[in-house]
Amino acid sequence: MSQKYVYLFNEGNAGMKNLLGGKGANLAEMTGLGLPVPYGFTVSTEACTRYYEDGETIADEIVEQIKAALAVAEEKAGKKFGSTENPFLVSVRSGARASMPGMMDTILNLGLNDETVKALAKLTGNERFAYDSYRRFIQMFSDVVMEVEKANFDKIFDGAKEKYGCEMDTDLTAEHLKEIVEAYKAMFKSEKGFDFPQDPMTQLIEAVKAVFRSWDNPRAIVYRRMNDIPASWGTAVNVQSMVFGNMGDDSGTGVAFTRNPATGEKALFGEYLMNAQGEDVVAGIRTPETIDHLRDTNEAVYNEFVRIADILEKHYRDMQDMEFTIEKGKLYMLQTRSGKRTAAAALQIAVDLVNEGMRTKDEAIQMIDPKSLDALLHPTFDPVALKAAKPVATGLAASPGAACGIVYFSADEAKAAHEAGSQVILARKETSPEDIEGMTASQGILTAFGGMTSHAAVVARQLGTCCVSGCKEAQINEEAKTITFSDGTVLHEGDWISLDGTTGKVYAEAIKTVDAELSGNFATIMEWADSFRTLKVRTNADSPSQAAMAVKFGAEGIGLCRTEHMFFDEARIPAMRQMIVSKNADERKAALAKILPMQRDDFKGIYKAMEGRPVTIRFLDPPLHEFLPTKEEDIRELAGNMNLSYEELKATIDGLHESNPMMGHRGCRLSITYPEIAEMQTRAVIEAAIEVRQETGLEIVPEIMIPLVGDVKELAYVKGFVVETAKKVMQERGMVIPYMVGTMIEIPRAALTADEVATEAEFFSFGTNDLTQMTFGFSRDDAGKFLPDYYAKKIFESDPFARVDQLGVGKLMQIAVELGKKTRPNIKLGICGEHGGDPSSVEFCHRIGLNYVSCSPFRVPIARLAAAQAALSNK
């Protein structure tokens, strides 16, 4: 027997989403509930997959099943496809498992042709309605199925309105519309070279194929990638008896939510338009009425709708987003689904549903998309102020939040203005590590160059600062201190500017911002989440202020404190540079001695901010050349400051040049060459812990993390210096404190030999950024050039730097967990790559048995919620 590809509405239910798509499954469910749903059938997602397997053709057996289902629907409707007496008309709608903008949406009135339109006119006694339906069908079908440009139709339609002096579409008469239909068909023929298809079955099959095709159009691919939807899912197609909202003033169509999708308020929320079909509501030509207006004008229909809405919300136990049509005073439901909502509404609804007894806490927790929380954690523009503002440019939404301030063009000036009390925005062509202080001092950062992983973007996300990067429409002149926008607007130093890092929009004016609200529903949901999760959530933080912010967001420790970020500070980089140009260990030690007190103070500040929570400190990681200038004039200046000849310094810098710095002299390799560095850093870590203990009584257990280990002997060698130095410091200070030594697992070989590494490492922290680079063999800095091709050609469907590649990188992680535990059953396991804040990666980390995830401060709440969901879904 051949496979079943087509399901009548009474053959399905809400549980069959994978097969019938969301829309189809819910139409079937509503049918089962006895609600007024126009009858029809669903062509399954498997038919879509089959379509692609068959080289984008539709198999005969599927066509046969469609015909059979259509016959049932005709029977039920008492109408017949193509009948010149009582013609059967249908709508065709796509419906994937997950709602997907970008795909073909809807074709209405399918089945109309030159003959059936006459029958429809006769049958309804409404010729105007019949031809209006026909012209709509011709336009929609031509546009989405036949790829005739919509503008061609608009031109004819608008021409006719002008010719007959009609202001509103509804002013056009039946005769006008007949003329338009003829003009449409003539244009269609001249565009396509053949007549507009008259055979209803041809229309239907072509429409089904168009839906399948639209699964793979570029916008759909982009959307899938952004939302982790695999290409293999496919879409279903729903074919449904037409009901008409445009049959006169007793007909209409609308959409409504059972609760307010913006705020979560419990009240019906929606709008409708009388004498209209679906597309009129969104087209915006006529202004729809609010759903409340229906109560006043047609109470019976309104009450019926309220009753159905209530049934649906109780049935689905979630806020519903419904589409309906009124045909000659009779209400039909065309769709229901869980409604999309803002993050704030999501929290409100989740809390309300629990309070109303409709959902348990664990169910409520699983209803919230963790990623959506991000929007709640950053300042936003005051909605009223925003409404009045007009963006002058759009860049990449590199780090979320809204910011407003006075623009400066150098890190130093931004810092000075900030210290003088100004709100500051830093605008740079692109940022570099030397800009770190200016970036910290700014409300927001704008760059003209660089992508989502540029220095500005990465640091801004780490700082939780708003950032718009790679804004090509902004020409930034750092010398002249101006920004010239593509629209001609010019800003000078001292002018106000506003940035929206969530949308990438740039405003050449001051817009009031509103701070994030972390109490109320947010606090309630976080409390529930914490009660379910078993995975700890730490943060990546390099400064006391970041640490304090992360604690506010619920961080339970620091999983990654990068010590090198501390050295780009203007006051410190000279000592670092002196260390690098040292000719021997003694000179190096002298330079390091200058860095020691600064580093110790950093650690003290961080320990205090963390109030006794664990702190993992990663030792110096980047290649040394990152601390040295590259431009000739900067090298000359530095040489002067350091009492070196230009040639000497240039030779040192050239000597540090690397072909592949990613895989060069960095991480623990630095401490193997220069153990003095590890000694100094150990001293700073331990002295700081002892002093904080003495000053505050806080019991600090520092976790020293040696980066880039690929062989246990590397770790053993560096650990030797760490242990020896720690012992010495504790003797000097007369106080013994506990501490741990562990390693990042970021090199494939460390994962493969984790049983050996664990003989020395007391903890592993997966550095999945580098681990991903090396497992895939591509450099994040360079992959931007070819990954777009990978997405376009469906080789990759998600960004492995955003979401753990469970098949490859994840396998290495599992190997490391297994081998590490074999050697040291209680080894502490965490992750500190950027994946630590990605929900699907958090779920993976939970599943393979990590103890904690660590992420940037602003992702801590996301990780807390994701960890709770992971615990619940793996119960």
Contact set with a second copy (CB under 8 A)? 658-665, 669, 672-673, 708, 710-711, 713-714, 717, 746-749, 752-753, 756, 770, 773-779, 781-783, 785-786, 789-790, 793-796, 805, 807-809, 811-812
Q: What is d(CA 194, CA 295) in angstroms, rounded to the nearest whole number?
A: 49
742 membership: H or E segment, kind and range: strand 740-745
Q: Which is nearer to a second copy, 102 or 664 (CB)?
A: 664
Token pair listed for 812: 């290495």
Closest CB 680 distance from a second copy, rounded Å: 18
Residue 867's φ and ψ, nearest 5 degrees, are: -65, -40
Q: How far is the CB of 662 from a second copy (least distance, A)?
A: 4
DSSP E strand boundaries for 330-386: 330-338, 380-381
Residue bearing tokens 């409300």: 443
Q: Given the structure tokens 């202004």, which residue do they identify?
A: 287
Structure tokens at 207: 């429409």
**558-562 and 536-540 beta bridge pairing:** parallel
Nearer to a second copy, 75 or 782 (CB): 782
Cβ 104 vs Cβ 210: under 8 Å: yes
Q: Give me the helix-helix angle, 573-581 and 646-656, nearest 10°.
A: 80
Shortest gap between Cβ of 747 and a second copy (angstroms)?
4
SS3 427: strand
* Minimum distance of a second copy from residue 222's CB (angstroms): 18
SS3 328: coil
Please report how close the Cβ of residue 773 comes to a second copy at its closest, in angstroms. 7
Q: Which residue has the tokens 């109780």?
A: 314
Distance between start and end Cα atoms, the chain: 39
Tell me whether residue 518 or residue 663 sits nearer to a second copy (CB atom).
663
Closest by CA position to 810, among listed 760, 751, 733, 860: 751
The order of strands in the sheet holding 289-290 is: 289-290, 269-274, 252-257, 320-327, 330-338
**Per-position b or e across 52-84, b if 16+ CB within 10 A of its CB:** beeeeebbeebbebbeebbebbbebbebbbbbe
Whole-number minimum distance, CB 661 to a second copy, in Å? 7
What tokens were used for 830?
């965490």
User: Which structure tokens are listed for 174?
Assistant: 């039946």
| 561 among known catalytic residues | no
- Name the minimum Å distance from CB 254 to a second copy: 44
421 phi and psi angles, rounded to 5 deg: 100, 5
Rounded Cα–Cα distance for residues 258 and 312 (Å): 9
Calculate the CA 209 to chain-centre distance: 30
CA distances from 160 to 45, 137, 439 (A): 41, 18, 58
* Pairing between β-strand 505-507 and β-strand 496-500 as defined by DSSP bridges: antiparallel
* Amino acid, single-letter form, for residue 342: T
Minimum CB separation of residue 750 from a second copy in Å reads: 8
**Least distance to a second copy, CB of residue 720, Å:** 10
Q: How would you list the strands of the sheet with 396-399, edge to edge? A: 393-394, 505-507, 496-500, 402-408, 424-428, 444-447, 466-469, 396-399
Q: Which is nearer to a second copy, 487 or 632 (CB)?
A: 632
Catalytic residue at 855? no
Closest approach, Cβ 836 to a second copy, in A, equals 20
* Other beta carbons less than 10 A from residue 344's beta carbon: 18
For the beta carbon of residue 642, count every other beta carbon within 10 angstroms. Answer: 15
Sole residue written with tokens 């990590």: 850
Buried (b) or exposed (e) across 134-161, using 16+ Cβ within 10 A? Answer: bbbbbbbbbbbbbebeeebbeebbeebb
**Active-site residue, selected from the candidate residues 176, 378, 418, 455:** 455
CB atoms within 10 A of CB 602: 23
Q: Is the Cβ of residue 516 or residue 672 nearer to a second copy in the bound state? A: 672
**CB of 286 or CB of 650, closer to a second copy:** 650
SS3 assignment, position 788: helix
- Cβ–Cβ under 8 Å, residues 599 and 576: no
Give the separation between CA 133 and CA 247, rounded to whole angstroms. 9
Closest distance between a second copy and the C-beta of residue 816, in Å?
12
Closer residue to a second copy (CB): 232 or 874? 232
Residue 817 and residue 750: Cα distance in Å, rounded?
A: 11
Q: Nearer to a second copy by C-beta: 230 or 640? A: 230
Secondary structure of residue 227 in the 3-state scheme: coil
Between 311 and 672, name the residue whose CB sits nearer to a second copy.
Answer: 672
Distances 582 to 576, 577, 636, 682 between C-alpha atoms, Å? 10, 9, 18, 20
Closest CA to 556 of 547, 565, 567: 547
Catalytic option among 467, 668, 832, 855:
832
Q: What is the DSSP string of 440-470?
A: HH-SEEEESS--TTSHHHHHHHHHT-EEEE-
CB of residue 821 to a second copy, shortest distance in Å: 18
> How near is the Cβ of 671 to a second copy at its closest, in Å?
10
Residues carrying an active site annotation: 455, 832
